[in-house]
């Protein structure tokens, strides 16, 4: 022990669990510790068998990973629940006692005269040129290279992420009679009460009269000692033999797909073990991964190359995410899933899948034989969440490109169906929740008064269309620009006011002027409107100058705000000039504007999407019925009347949302 002094170490190992122990043994095997000053920061003396490590592998790989002399038991047959024994040849299921690992590490450290610091280090290092200064309780040490295997800290969970625990409690027992089949591991025996968790028992027979019997739980809460002993007593009692308990084991392993919060201190501060994501989130297996990782790290040291870990294929991360979500939300289904997994496939195929070595074709077969509806349900929620977190402007950009291809291949019907569905659902629905934005509605009477006021505003604007169509058109464009700009700026956390109005005007003018012929055709269908004559008289050169001016001003505006979202929006609006006017406006209105508004309503009214949709249904259904009736009443002038009706129901909505945004001045994202 070093006290009250400053010492410099070539290597510091923080924590001497499996990961750093395996790494240190591999470094010693490759002669990388000779003449090196080594420091160990570990509070435990590591003099008891507190862990049992198990993994499946080949004997050749065990030799390559320098583990052969640590193996205490191995089996080539596995029994899962009530299924018959299966061989896993050419693989073995290996067992290593934790105390054997610790003892070997201590022997190596003694040879290299390592220094021990028996305490917990929870602090952060100070950088000193290419070294690290670590402050301990009685010491300040300098390390040239650090291997950090402290327990990980996780970032906050997203809705499609899960953080569960694999907790286990086991007895190593010795029986009076020779009752165990020492050639076969009992793996995941689900014949115990589930208690609204996913629970099972492992039986590792070390001989015909000694075995480790361990109960394991997958769940949000760890299994307690008392719960475990009840389950173990009940399980062992079935076999009617007397026994004595030689050792007890207890542990908790994170089953998490949350992002680990690691500070990057450079290549000489290396995270290992759980902190380096070595734990398979859905099984808790880590020892084999750690051994491989140690081998690769040492290989990089020998070749003097920067060590870079290979990431798991993304599809396996996706499988894990779905299974973890099922175990989190419906843990009682875990038994069903795992039993199907092992029942429908050979044990070697399952182990290959769990080791992330299977082919996509095999994985499709595996999932086809699992309770597929469970996975489809969480997959749909996962997809919904992932899409909801993509900025609507980016979604609209991608959808615009996709729509251009649809038109090119004469598949425009797909776009029209999507836009029609989008308008009748989120497009109308987000404007049908205005009554929820009023904080004065507390009863049926006020509800009726609100409806009457809403209709009165729409009817009044309808009279303006009847008497002064050109003024009505200018009013409609003005309040639409105000509303579109206000919604986008609120989503992007930009200051409201004249700039947001200018942005809304850019959006509308880009859509309408870049589709000038179609815009003129629509305006011609509005009886009494004269403003379209101005557009019809423009020459091609004037139209070109107008488009260039709009583009130049828009880019200056975007550059002033330095907004990527604005640039993406303007870009897809320009690309959408290859589409019809209705498609161009529909993509912006549904995919961007309506999604922004819906998100703001959802977040600040504290309601789920489903609840909001149900509450919007009476009004959105009424609006949809009006448009359908209009189609039959005045088919010859449908587009013009549609335009007027849309403006009449939009005006009250703009006032309501302006009032709503005024109540929630903070960022509504």
What local confidence, expressed as pLDDT, does residue 2 receive?
Answer: 43
Length of the chain: 669
Say what percent of the chain tops pLDDT 70: 95
pLDDT in tens, 556-580: 999 999 999 999 999 999 999 999 9
- The CA dihedral of 507, 510, 516, 518, to the nearest 10 degrees, is -50
C-alpha Rg value of the chain to the nearest Å: 34
Range from 312-316, 579-583, 623-627 carrying the lowest mean pLDDT: 623-627
User: C-alpha 377: how far from its chain's center?
Assistant: 16
pLDDT in tens, 291-338: 999 999 999 999 988 888 888 889 999 999 999 999 999 999 999 999
What is the C-alpha separation between 2 and 6, in angstroms, rounded? 9
Taking a C-beta distance cutoff of 8 angstroms, is the pair 504, 481 a contact? Answer: yes
What is the C-alpha separation between 219 and 216, in angstroms, rounded? 10
Q: Encode 626-641: b = buried (16+ Cβ within 10 Å), e = exposed.
A: ebeebeeeeeeeeebb
Tokens of 444: 């049926």
Q: Is 283 exposed, middle or buried (0-12, 13-18, 19+ CB in 10 A)?
A: middle
What is the C-alpha separation between 561 and 572, in angstroms, rounded? 18
Q: Is 343 helix (H, G, I), strand (E, B) or coil?
A: helix
Residue 243 has pLDDT above 50, yes or no: yes
What local confidence, expressed as pLDDT, does residue 524 receive?
Answer: 86
Tokens of 518: 């179609």
Q: Is 463 helix (H, G, I), strand (E, B) or coil?
A: helix
Among 207, 98, 218, smallest CA distance to 162 is for 218
pLDDT in tens, 70-123: 999 999 999 998 788 999 999 999 999 999 999 999 999 999 999 999 999 998
Report the interhelical angle of 638-663 vs 595-605 (nearest 10°): 40
pLDDT in tens, 143-153: 999 999 999 99
Residue of 360 and 425 predicted with greater confidence: 360
What local confidence, expressed as pLDDT, does residue 630 receive?
Answer: 61
Taking a C-beta distance cutoff of 8 angstroms, is the pair 257, 221 a contact? Answer: no
Q: What are phi and psi of 275, to 5 degrees?
A: -70, -15
What is the C-alpha separation between 523 and 307, in angstroms, rounded? 66
Residue of 126 and 645 predicted with greater confidence: 126
pLDDT in tens, 191-232: 999 999 999 999 999 999 999 999 999 999 999 999 999 999
pLDDT in tens, 504-562: 999 999 999 999 999 998 888 888 888 888 888 888 999 999 999 999 999 999 999 99
User: Distance from first CA to last CA of the chain, Å, rounded?
Assistant: 54
What local confidence, expressed as pLDDT, does residue 128 receive?
Answer: 82
Q: What is the pTM of this model?
A: 0.73
What local confidence, expressed as pLDDT, does residue 667 receive?
Answer: 47
């Amino acid at each position: 022990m070093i006290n009250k002094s400053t010492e410099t170490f070539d290597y510091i190992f923080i924590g001497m669990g499996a990961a750093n122990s395996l790494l240190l043994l591999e470094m010693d095997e490759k002669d990388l510790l000779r003449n090196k000053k080594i420091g160990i920061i570990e509070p435990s003396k590591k003099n008891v068998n507190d862990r049992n490590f198990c993994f499946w592998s080949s004997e050749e790989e065990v030799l390559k990973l320098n583990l052969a002399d640590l193996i205490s038991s191995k089996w080539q047959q596995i029994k899962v629940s009530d299924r018959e024994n299966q061989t896993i040849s050419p693989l073995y299921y290996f067992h290593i006692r934790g105390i054997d690992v610790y003892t070997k590490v201590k022997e190596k450290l003694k040879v290299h005269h390592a220094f021990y610091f028996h305490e917990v280090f929870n602090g952060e290092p100070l950088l000193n040129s290419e070294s690290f200064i670590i402050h301990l309780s009685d010491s300040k040490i300098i390390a040239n290279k650090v291997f950090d295997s402290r327990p990980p800290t996780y970032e906050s969970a997203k809705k499609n992420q899960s953080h569960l625990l694999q907790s286990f409690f086991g007895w190593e027992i010795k029986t009076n009679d020779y009752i165990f089949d020492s050639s076969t591991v009992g793996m995941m025996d689900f014949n115990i009460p589930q208690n609204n968790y996913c629970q099972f028992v492992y039986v590792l027979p070390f001989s015909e009269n000694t075995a480790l019997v361990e109960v394991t739980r997958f769940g949000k809460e760890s299994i307690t000692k008392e719960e475990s002993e009840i389950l173990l007593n009940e399980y062992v009692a079935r076999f009617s033999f007397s026994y004595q308990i030689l050792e007890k084991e207890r542990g908790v392993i994170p089953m998490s797909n949350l992002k680990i919060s690691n500070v990057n201190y450079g290549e000489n501060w290396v995270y290992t073990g759980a902190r380096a994501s070595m734990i398979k989130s859905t099984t808790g297996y880590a020892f084999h991964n750690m051994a491989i990782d140690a081998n690769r790290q040492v290989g990089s040291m020998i070749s003097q190359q920067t060590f870079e870990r290979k990431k798991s294929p993304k599809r396996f991360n996706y499988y894990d995410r779905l299974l973890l979500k099922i175990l989190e939300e419906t843990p009682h289904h875990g038994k069903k899933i795992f039993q199907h997994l092992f029942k429908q496939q050979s044990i070697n195929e399952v182990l290959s899948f769990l080791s992330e070595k299977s082919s996509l074709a095999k994985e499709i077969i595996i999932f086809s034989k699992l309770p597929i509806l469970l996975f489809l349900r969480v997959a749909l929620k996962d997809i919904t969440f992932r899409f909801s977190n993509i900025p609507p402007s980016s979604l609209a950009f991608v959808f615009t490109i996709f729509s251009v291809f649809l038109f090119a291949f004469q598949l425009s019907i797909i776009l029209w169906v999507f836009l029609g569905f989008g308008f009748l659902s989120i497009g109308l629905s987000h404007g049908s929740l205005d009554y929820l934005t009023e904080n004065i509605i507390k009863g049926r009477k006020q509800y009726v008064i609100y409806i009457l006021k809403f209709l009165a505003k729409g009817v009044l604007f309808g009279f303006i269309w009847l008497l002064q169509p050109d003024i009505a058109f200018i009013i409609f464009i003005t309040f639409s620009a105000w509303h579109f700009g206000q919604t986008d700026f609120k989503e992007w956390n930009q200051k409201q006011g004249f700039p947001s109005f200018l942005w809304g005007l850019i959006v509308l003018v880009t859509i309408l002027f870049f589709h000038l012929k179609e815009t003129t055709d629509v305006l011609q269908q509005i009886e009494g409107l004269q403003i379209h004559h101005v557009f019809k008289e423009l020459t091609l050169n004037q139209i070109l100058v107008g488009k260039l001016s709009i583009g130049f001003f828009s880019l200056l505006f975007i550059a002033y705000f330095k907004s990527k979202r604005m640039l993406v929006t303007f870009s897809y609006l320009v690309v959408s000039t290859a589409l019809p006017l209705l498609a161009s406006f529909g993509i912006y209105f549904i995919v961007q504007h309506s999604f922004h508004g819906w998100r703001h309503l959802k977040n600040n009214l504290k309601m789920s999407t489903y609840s909001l949709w149900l509450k919007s249904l009476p009004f959105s259904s009424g609006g949809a019925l009006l448009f359908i009736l209009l189609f039959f009443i005045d088919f010859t002038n449908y587009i013009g009347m549609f335009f007027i009706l849309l403006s009449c129901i939009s005006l009250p909505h703009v006032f309501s949302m302006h009032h709503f945004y005024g109540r929630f001045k903070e960022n509504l994202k």
